[in-house]
Amino acid sequence: MEDFTNPTVMTADEKILAVNNLKKSLEDNFVSLGQLLSEIKRTKLYKYKGFKDFKEFVEKEFNLSGTFANRLIGTYELFIEELDVDEMSVKNIGLDKLNMIKPLLKDTSYQETEDWIKKAEELPTTELREEIKEIRDRNKAKDKDLKDVYIDQFLEKMVTFFNCSRKELNFKMALFFQDADLEEIRNEIRIKQRKFEETGEV
């Protein structure tokens, strides 16, 4: 494989040819591919080929989705340029696992970032995915206030009672409220809401 460590010295045609060659073996070359695409996007090379934007260029020229191309760029720029992770380590971790931990690295400390990179290196994909899921579930639960908990409990109770989906429950609730006295309901809700906010009970 040719050396793509410095795409800034390559001509426009050389960069385009390099991307086409690298994407044939994506998992082995995603770092170099991300670097080249980053350079192409930064220098607006797509205009040289007559395209109005980067998304249209990568989709027509390389048969890559704009979303995937930007993911490759984001992975390269975060792990290689910003965090200065060794390129061999990045390749060994692999694109899938890097994309799994990438959202977790936003606003984290240096030590937390190092820990996640180490986990990505050492854990199999399934175990890493499970650990990420557990942390997200914990954070989601931590962010819930009493109202969220009450809503979840109420909806679970209702869908179980009616043996239906959330969408079907919404339909049943619409039927129930269609001819109801909304002014009376609003007054009753106001009283119950005040009690809930004061005591945590209805």
pLDDT in tens, the chain (202 residues): 344 556 676 788 888 888 887 877 777 889 999 999 999 999 999 998 899 999 999 999 888 899 999 999 999 999 999 999 999 999 999 999 999 999 989 878 889 999 999 999 999 999 999 999 998 888 776 666 677 777 888 888 988 998 989 889 999 888 888 888 888 888 888 888 888 777 766 6
For residue 18, give its domain range: 7-143
**Residues 73 and 11 both lie in one domain:** yes
Give the number of domains in the chain: 2
Q: What is the pTM of this model?
A: 0.61
**Residues 50 and 88 both lie in one domain:** yes
**Residues 77 and 158 both lie in one domain:** no
**Residues 86 and 120 both lie in one domain:** yes
Residue spans of alpha helices (H) in the chain: 12-22, 26-42, 54-61, 66-76, 87-93, 95-101, 110-122, 125-143, 146-162, 166-177, 182-199
Q: Is residue 72 part of a domain?
A: yes
Give the domain-ending residue among 127, 143, 159: 143
Closest CA to 119 of 104, 107, 106: 104
Residue 23 DSSP label: G
**Residues 154 and 95 both lie in one domain:** no
